[in-house]
Amino acid sequence: MNFGPWEWIIVLGVIVLLFGAKKLPELARSLGRSSSEFKKGIKEGAADADEAGASEPKPQDKSENTPSSE
Amino acid at 19: F
Round to whole Å and give the CA distance between 9 and 7.
Answer: 5
**Residue 30 pLDDT:** 93
User: Is pLDDT above 60 for 64?
Assistant: no
Write down the pTM of the prediction.
0.47
Taking only the tens place, the pLDDT of each residue in 30-56 is 999 999 999 999 999 888 877 776 665
Round to whole Å and give the CA distance between 14 and 19.
Answer: 9
Query: In the chain, what is the straight-line distance between the N-terminal and C-terminal CA atoms, in Å?
Result: 70
Domains of the chain, by residue range, sit at: 1-43
Residue 3 makes CB contacts below 8 A (sequence gap 6+) with 11
Percent of the chain exceeding pLDDT 70 equals: 73
**Residue 7 pLDDT:** 92
Round to whole Å and give the CA distance between 56 and 26.
Answer: 45
Percent of the chain exceeding pLDDT 90 equals: 27
